[in-house]
Amino acid sequence: QQPVQSPQAVILREGEDAVINCSSSKALYSVHWYRQKHGEAPVFLMILLKGGEQKGHEKISASFNEKKQQSSLYLTASQLSYSGTYFCGTQGGSEKLVFGKGTKLTVNP
């Protein structure tokens, strides 16, 4: 039931783009995205609901394909501050939010 994230890790240079994918074997009601920096708590980025539109602000956006039970997080023109581990969390029929194992993003100067 745990969603699968890919890739597990990605290294970028500042200004490059990245895509992080999240897929589930179950029908999804919603997908959350969080970023966690080392030694800190996860921080909420955005939520995508079934039937909702693609979300985003500034250079971070996400999409939700309900039929494929997949979501993707898009990071455009990455900044050093984008470094961290990105988690997707999925909700199926219940209220439980189940997190993937995370994608470690490193942005270098």
Partner 1 sequence: DAGVIQSPRHEVTEMGQEVTLRCKPISGHDYLFWYRQTMMRGLELLIYFNNNVPIDDSGMPEDRFSAKMPNASFSTLKIQPSEPRDSAVYFCASSFIRDAYGYTFGSGTRLTVV
The whole-angstrom separation of Cα 56 and Cα 48 is 10
Cβ closer to partner 1: 9 or 77? 9
The whole-angstrom separation of Cα 44 and Cα 33 is 6
- Token pair for 32: 């959350």
Cβ closer to partner 1: 26 or 96? 96
Q: How many CB atoms lie within 10 A of CB 11?
A: 12
Smallest gap from Cβ 37 to partner 1, in A, equals: 12
Cβ closer to partner 1: 2 or 15? 2
Residues that bind partner 1 (CB under 8 A): 2, 29-30, 32, 34, 40-47, 49, 87, 89, 91, 94-102
30 has which bridge partners? Answer: 49, 91
Cβ closer to partner 1: 58 or 109? 58
Smallest gap from Cβ 96 to partner 1, in A, equals: 6
3-state DSSP: the chain helix, strand, coil percent, rounded to 5? 5, 55, 45
Smallest gap from Cβ 42 to partner 1, in A, equals: 5
